[in-house]
Amino acid sequence: MNMNVIWHNGRFIPAEQSSILPADRGFLLGDGVFDTMAAQDGMPVDAPAHQARLIRHAAVLGISLPAMDDWHDIVCELLARNRSTTGAAIIRTTLTRGPGGRGLALPEKETSPTLLITAELFDPESYTPPATAIIAQTVRRNEGSPLSRIKSLNYGDNVLAQREAQEAGADIALMTNNAGYVCGAANGNLFIAENGRLYTPPLSDGVLDGIVRARIMTQHAVSEESLSPARLFKADALWVTNSLIGVRPVAAVDGRAFPVKMLSCA
């Protein structure tokens, strides 16, 4: 990890000097949201879309994002301060409601949100080989919860699914929802090819409104349909997408092999 300087509540500070208040609701309750964005050669990718989504997701929890008109400039300076202006980097923005009293009830007085931005280099080549996947059996996504469609700090279900994949020797965990439909991966969205057409699960199935997902849907004819495991296993090809890996082919699911095909996303 190459993360020497962070941006924390309006200041650039050394990472080792940062601290979170013990009463911060993001730390205690997962009461917050986050965004992960790629950068290339010192420039963030799709920054306006990521900022708009962060605002939308924060609104679901009733958290007001502090004024961030200079967010792009902050990110660029953070990349420079961390010597991350050559090659690929990860920008993570974390927003919490801030400190509050004990329990679930919201603070009676409005608190100051905690806003943290980090930047570090990463190697995208390690994520480019076709992935192996499993359909997680230990946990399901609750499509009835609004949290299933946002990047909240409460990512426990995704962690459990990914742990199951790791223990099975797979790269990716695909997740089903309570209705039994495959709604995506623990770390991204899902597309399948079927008889020359592209399909992806609808947001109502407990699907994150992925930035790359949206871009693919503007560049290709894509139908939003619920995907059963049986239908997935009959697909002609599969891909998982997120902002860091872009589009990654899936070569096998639960040991069933699939043709590796490319899906363009400019």
Residues 6+ apart with CB under 8 A from 188: 208, 210, 212, 240, 241, 242, 245
Domain boundaries, the chain: 5-122, 127-257
Answer whether 227's CB lies under 8 Å from 193's CB: no
Residues 129-142 have pLDDT tens digits of: 899 999 999 999 99
Residue-wise DSSP of 48-103: HHHHHHHHHHHHHTT-PPPP-TTHHHHHHHHHHHTT--SSEEEEEEEEE--B--SS
Does the pLDDT at position 110 exceed 80? no
Model pLDDT, residue 2 = 52
State which CATH number among 1.10.150.110, 3.30.470.10, 1.10.3210.10, 3.20.20.240 fits the domain covering 5-122.
Answer: 3.30.470.10
Summarize pLDDT for 177-188 with one digit per residue, the tens: 999 999 999 999
For 47-74, write each residue's pLDDT tens digit.
Answer: 999 999 999 999 999 998 877 788 899 9
- C-alpha distances (whole Å) from 163 to each of 1, 158, 173 are 21, 8, 8
Mean pLDDT of 161-172: 98
Question: Do 97 and 29 touch, CB atoms closer than 8 A?
Answer: no
Q: What is the mean pLDDT of residues 28-39?
A: 96
pTM (2 decimals)?
A: 0.93
Confidence of residue 128 (pLDDT cuts 50, 70, 90): confident
Sheet of 32-40, strand order: 11-14, 5-8, 114-121, 88-96, 32-40, 43-44
Band the pLDDT of 125: cuts 50, 70, 90: confident
Task: Report CA dihedral (26, 30, 33, 39) to the nearest 10 degrees.
Answer: 80
Considering Cα of 174, then 140, then 206, then 232, what sign does the dihedral take? positive
**Residue 19 CA from chain centroid, whole number:** 24
Indicate the angle between helix axes 211-219 and 47-60, nearest 10 degrees: 120
pLDDT score for 107: 82
CATH code of 127-257, in short, is: 3.20.10.10
The answer, yes or no, to whether residue 1 has pLDDT greater than 50, is no
**133, 184 Cβ separation under 8 angstroms:** no
